[in-house]
Chain A
Amino acid sequence: MITMDFAYYRPKSIAEAVNTFQDLTLQNKKALYYGGGTEIISMARMNKLQFAAVIDIKEIPECNVMQINNQKLTIGAAVTLTKICETNLFPLLSRAAKATADHTSRDKITVGGNICGLIPYREVVLPFLLCNSQVILAGKEGQRTVPITQIFDKTLKREKSEFIVQILTDRTFIDLPFEFVKKTKMEEIDYPLVTLALIKLGDEIRAAVSGLCSFPFRSSRLENEINQISVPLQTRIDNIMSNLPGPILNNLQGSAEYRDFVFRNTLLDALAKVGGAS
């Protein structure tokens, strides 16, 4: 039960959503864009999140698109992870979606909500980072389309009034060979110790990671190391581990020391599979 009082809005258009946000801001009310609500509800119930209003974007038509058109896959921010898995237009994304939470939660969790959430893992962002997807954001200044790699740095750097409308992914990327590995403390349905997503473009391997640090990331440094095929694998991995973008996460799911161990082996195995070992 949530004891905090808040207003609930369900706009039918992008403009209405943005205007609502603006109105609330002018009244000094903190508003949150709302997708599946799994995180907002559970945090609000525990009094770990304060807000005056939520703006539910699930009835905005553009946010519910899931289709391939003109060689682009368009995914609306309000598409649920269950739908991602069921339609399976983007196999790597399906894997990342299916690795998130349990089925009941995936019926609610949306693509946009997962990417913009507060939880450290947000594994759904990994495939988009690897595919240089484009994010369409709507805000008080109108809409803009930005490469996700440009605006995702630990979190999605958006203006306060902005929300994700859609994510566009070039069709050529979605069928690339990939590897997706999620390692957990004990059971399949849990937060990750580490999640590693790899795709292969010709000889180039791209990698994105969740669970290792307190945020998901794709780093050019890591990819440079991975792709230096001439360097012994063990050396490359040592180099990667000493140049991580942040400290290794240490929490209930696993100690930093154990995550280090698991990630090294996961990377080793994954690279062997996609042909990046030597």
Chain B
Amino acid sequence: MTAEEMTIIGKSVNRKDAPEKVRGAAKYTTDYIAPDLLHAKLVTSTYAHAKIKSINTNEAQKVPGVQAIVTAEYCPGIVGVILEDQPMLAKDKVRYHGEPIAVVVANSEYEAKKAAELIQVEYEPLPVVNSPGEAIKPNAPLIHENHGDYRRLKHVFPEPGTNISNHVKIRKGDIGKAWAQCDVIVEDSFSIPQSDHAALEPRNSRCEIKPDGRVIIYTSSQSPFIVRKLISRYFNLDEGKVIVNTPLVGGAFGGKAAVHLEFLVYMASYAVGGRMVKLVNTREEDLIGSPCKIGLEAKVKLGSTKDGIIKAAEITYLVDGGAYSNMGVAITKSIATDCTGPYKIENVFCDAICVYTNHPFTTSFRGFGHMEYTFAIERTIDMLARKLKHDPLELRIKNAIAPGDTSPSLVGLTPSNIGNLKECLNQIKKLINWDGGRKVDMGNGKIRTKGISCFWKTPSTPTDAVSGAVITFNPDGSINLNIGPVELGVGSKTVLAQILAERLKWDINKIHVTMEVNTELNPVHWKTVASMTIYMVGRAVLEAAEDLISQLKSIGSIVLRCSPTDLDVADGKVFLKEDPNQHLDVTEVVYGYKYDNGNSIGGQIMGRGTFIMKHLTTLDHDGGKGVPGPGWTLGAQAVEVEFDAKYCTYNILKAVTVLDAGKVLNPKTAEGVVKGGMSMGLSFATREYFDFDIQGKVLNHNLRTYKIMRFGENPQYIVNFIETPQIDAPYGARAFGEHGIIGMPAALGNSLAAASDTDLNKLPLSPETIWKTRKEAAQ
């Protein structure tokens, strides 16, 4: 089908979840109120690393309304998704500030909180590991003394006797010989702090255990099917008896991919005989107690010829995974597979190491580590450009990755799996009025500069990640699309309806998509992460559509007395290709066709489609060879700032993204998602971080001091797409849900480094940091 023939793909269809959201009628997990609902409240650690000497619940038990108090002694064991290393409730010791120690269940939230405040925990402080650098020191305190004994559920390489939870190596080409070919070498260190997702809706769950043993969980999650799996695994329950419901989710950004509160709320319900218990994080608990975003320390060394051809990259990434490995170890692998950024570099030597620290534990966050390492790489590229006296944008064009090259893990690249970075750079050059990246003195103490960053990312999914779609009909011929991803607020369900509407040539308003997820009813979808919803579910939807069409044609061929191949389906009709007037309305066949004399044939028409990842492999541990994902999405980003040279303050004037989207399925939602990512990236780059004291306690775990960019502070955003189709993706559409965030800190850092003539290698880029760095450089 040519672009002109596409009727609904490429149109800005309004989101199907919009009317109830804009009217405030949408219901989220915690909106449920019932008279017999019990409330849980956590007791969390006030230390980052300490032995728990005792937990005294005597006073708390006396609070009226208290039904149960759960501590680690009632927990079945330790949990994990890749490496099993985390007690559900802290046992014997706490490893981060905010770690849950006990759960109080009471008749009301008030009574639960009151009792929680009366639980006395006696601690014996332990020495703290407060950064990744400290974690790998030879005599660093061990956060997990026996982590060699932890069960490994997936491809992961912890190093017993150290704080290392995973070590991924990339060995491409011959780094030893490569340096000899380099005329110019730059090398520097970077540090990116931990922070949180800070979604509008704090994480929350509720659970009840029915008399027949069914466990019903309602949770604000990106992974209801993983919740089912882990609750079943760790509480020894039949998977079919664990039913997980996820209604709309109020922002997730990766932070709701982990299973955490669900364990606690199950134990809480179990402790009160299965009554329904609700557990809702306060903002303070949500910021540090539930999993956060990784931190990163990076060392990057790049070498190029005098003509600016990058020949070698030697990189060490130390990932601050926090107190428990969770997804930190997987993020480390993802960082390794894309470690150089989207550049053709023949010789790469990279060690990506995930370490335990006494910081909040970490899970996926938009970009899956790519935003963090991209800051390090792209700042180094700018340093290289400066040393070479090259235009930084031209240097990027010169080294841009392209079909025919290989990725760091030696995947052969094609137009389909990589896209067109050079075109993105050429376009951004115009959109930001690059002009050689010239610094403009505005004459009033203000300087205007521009910074650029490239980005790329391939999803890092399990090699067997699956999805599915089931299509059923209503009597009026409208369609129910039954799928398993969670609507996180990005409009993906609407786009999936568009994909179905396009394939069936159906009215989009006659396609109803399941908004809420119920693991008992919806076909499994791995997790709503990795920007993979459209790719995975879209493929399943297309397969289900084919199934449906073939069934419609099959019954149509009997009634219309022809071969199925003579028929086509569109606009709710099955018709003869050569004479559309000879047709059946689908309403006549969706539940079977009935002849005039009452005889009936056919039966209910239902489409089914499935999807499983193909050709993915784990990484070979010695050299990092392997296929991490089905394809990359790449692009370029630029930021223009006005810098006040005296105060080191700045305004971000403009931010631009040009991204190879493969095919833009819904322009407005696409633009919205990319702008959302850009905004989040700038917020992180300018102000979001955890401030730890020397004891590893977080000082700013509330929104007075943990700042997030407000509406109105945003610069002008410009988003442009180019379209190099990814052949195996629905209508060629690449994944880009996360990607708008990736290059923003780097582009901002590059613009501010140029403005202040200072190497800015740390985030956040606060005026004080710039001032201090500039001052130290001058000394």
Contacts and interface: CB of A to CB of B under 8 A. Distances in A.
Interface of A: 1, 3, 46-47, 102, 183, 185-191, 252, 254-255, 258, 261-262, 265
Interface in B703-717: 704-705, 707, 709-710, 713
A187 B710 contact: yes
Contacts of A188: 713
B114 interface: yes
B642 to A, nearest CB: 15
Interface residues of B, number: 25
A252 B772 contact: no
Interface string B762-779: 001011100110000000
Contact of B707 (A47, A187, A254): A187
B373 to A, nearest CB: 24
Given A3-B114, A189-B710, 20 more contacts: A1-B110, A3-B110, A3-B117, A46-B284, A47-B117, A102-B710, A185-B766, A186-B686, A186-B687, A186-B766, A187-B707, A187-B709, A187-B713, A188-B713, A190-B707, A191-B704, A252-B699, A252-B705, A255-B768, A258-B772
A265 B647 contact: yes
Given A1-B113, A3-B110, A186-B686, A254 B768 contact: yes
B110 A185 contact: no
Contact of B687 (A46, A187, A191, A254): A187
B646 interface: yes
A10 to B, nearest CB: 22
A144 B723 CA distance: 75
A254 B117 CA distance: 32
Interface centre among B686, B705, B764 (most CB of A within 10 A): B705
B186 to A, nearest CB: 29
A48 to B, nearest CB: 12
7 contacts: A1-B109, A1-B110, A1-B113, A186-B687, A187-B707, A252-B700, A258-B772
A102 B712 CA distance: 13
A8 B583 CA distance: 74
Interface in B112-159: 113-114, 117
A252 B766 CA distance: 12
Contacts of B772: 258
A258 B707 contact: no
Contacts, number: 44
B109 A258 contact: no
B57 to A, nearest CB: 16
A261 B775 CA distance: 11
Contacts of B646: 265
B647 A186 contact: no
Contacts of B768: 185, 254-255, 258
A3 B771 contact: no
Given A3-B113, A185-B767, A262 B699 contact: no
A278 B113 CA distance: 60
B691 interface: yes
B734 to A, nearest CB: 34
Nearest to A3: B114
B117 A186 contact: no
Contacts of B704: 191
B766 A261 contact: no
The 9 lowest CB-CB distance pairs between A and B, nearest first, are A3-B114, A258-B768, A186-B687, A3-B113, A252-B705, A186-B766, A1-B113, A254-B768, A252-B700
A261 B113 contact: no
Nearest to A253: B705
A258 B284 CA distance: 28
B130 to A, nearest CB: 17
B98 to A, nearest CB: 14
B278 to A, nearest CB: 13
Interface string B84-116: 000000000000000000000000011001100
Contacts of A191: 704
A3 B699 CA distance: 23
Contacts of A261: 771
Given A47-B117, A186-B767, A262 B713 contact: no
Contacts of A255: 768
A252 B691 contact: yes
Contacts of B691: 252
Nearest to A193: B768
Nearest to B767: A186
Nearest to A47: B117
Contacts of B710: 102, 187, 189
A261 to B, nearest CB: 7
Contacts of B709: 187
Interface string B686-700: 110001000000011
A254 to B, nearest CB: 6
Contact of A258 (B705, B764, B771): B771
A186 B707 CA distance: 9
A185 B705 CA distance: 11
B685 to A, nearest CB: 11
A265 B691 CA distance: 27
A190 B649 CA distance: 15
A185 B707 CA distance: 10
Nearest to B108: A1
B738 to A, nearest CB: 24
A188 B700 CA distance: 18
Contacts of B284: 46
A135 B767 CA distance: 39
A255 B705 CA distance: 15
A185 B647 CA distance: 11
A156 B155 CA distance: 64
Nearest to B712: A188
B768 to A, nearest CB: 5
Contacts of B117: 3, 47
A190 B705 CA distance: 8
A185 B603 CA distance: 68
Contacts of B771: 258, 261
A277 to B, nearest CB: 15
Contacts of A190: 707
Contacts of B114: 3
Interface in B638-681: 646-647
Nearest to A191: B704
A46 B117 CA distance: 10
Interface centre among B709, B710, B767, B772 (most CB of A within 10 A): B767
Contacts of A265: 646-647
Contacts of B687: 185-187
Nearest to B700: A252
Nearest to A101: B704
Interface string B624-650: 000000000000000000000011000
A137 B748 CA distance: 52
Interface centre among B704, B707, B709, B772 (most CB of A within 10 A): B707
